[in-house]
Amino acid sequence: MLSLMLASFLPLLLLCRISLCQYSSDQCSWKGSGLTHEGHTRDVEQVYLRCSQGSLEWVYPTGAIIVNLRPNTLSPAAARLSVCIKPSKDSTGTNIYLDRNGKLRLLLREQDQAEGKVHCFGIREGALFIEAVPHTDISRRITAFQYELVSDRLRAEAQSPGAPCQPCSDAEMLLAVCTNDFVARGTIKTVGLEEDHASVSVEISRLYRQKTHVFVSGGVRVRSWTGNIKMPLQCGVKSGEGEFLFTGTVRFGEAWMGCAPRYKDFLRLYHEAQLQGTNPCHVDTD
């Protein structure tokens, strides 16, 4: 009788434990609590994240977790990927290591995480070993970061997304319209200077494409969007009159400027390429 009662309660006990550590429905993100390690501070929990981007949040970190970042594909190209993580500026409570076959290499100390800088490593360099730092007080601590899987070729760009400050060639401009994370026609409203980049406030009149919602709609009846695009400080961007074609990449939810010709210059280039049959893709310019 006792064994039957235990068997009926076991799934409930497991569910209560799991409820403190949850994956998102797509297994892209994980939220956990160190309270599940209470009384078991030596436990090391395995976490598996299988998307190209997502996030992790560990509240009251205790003991350690191993985070395995693996793409949900069997392609040989997966071995040539890099993992980039961007800690939250409020992230604290742990040290983060790379774990390769049991050998640990320090990646981020607890005090470094507040800088919010992007750190990348090759996917073959190992899993993330996140170890709680002992503290005498019981204040609430959270270790949190976003992650992205990028090709090795784009690794340097992910760590410093701003492209070199030089004009795009005609070929680069046409290709950017076809391949970049966002393509939009609009005007520059203001330019703000921050510690390590410029933030360009833009108003968009025509949104061709955006990978994520970096530009916000003005409403159902207003066909316009607003947003901010980041650029390196050394580019010396200034607000100016006229329309531009903004293209670029999205890194950790932030838009970074790529090619940004004046719209009239893009139109001239596009129509010339159209006559020659050299356009890499079609763009509705009407």
Residue scoring higher pLDDT (27 or 93): 93
Domains and CATH numbers, the chain: 25-155 (2.60.120), 162-276 (2.40.50.120)
The count of other CB atoms within 10 Å of the CB of residue 233 is 14
Specify the DSSP class assigned to residue 176: H
pLDDT at 41 exceeding the cut of 70: no
Close Cβ partners of 152 (under 8 Å, ≥ 6 residues apart): 80, 81, 82, 122
| pTM strictly above 0.85 | no
Band of residue 159 on the pLDDT scale cut at 50, 70, 90? low
Q: Using one digit for the tens of pLDDT, what is the confidence trace for 173-202?
A: 999 999 999 999 999 999 998 877 889 999
Q: Using one digit for the tens of pLDDT, what is the confidence trace for 90-109?
A: 999 999 999 999 999 999 99
Closest Cα partner for 56 from 46, 67, 64?
67
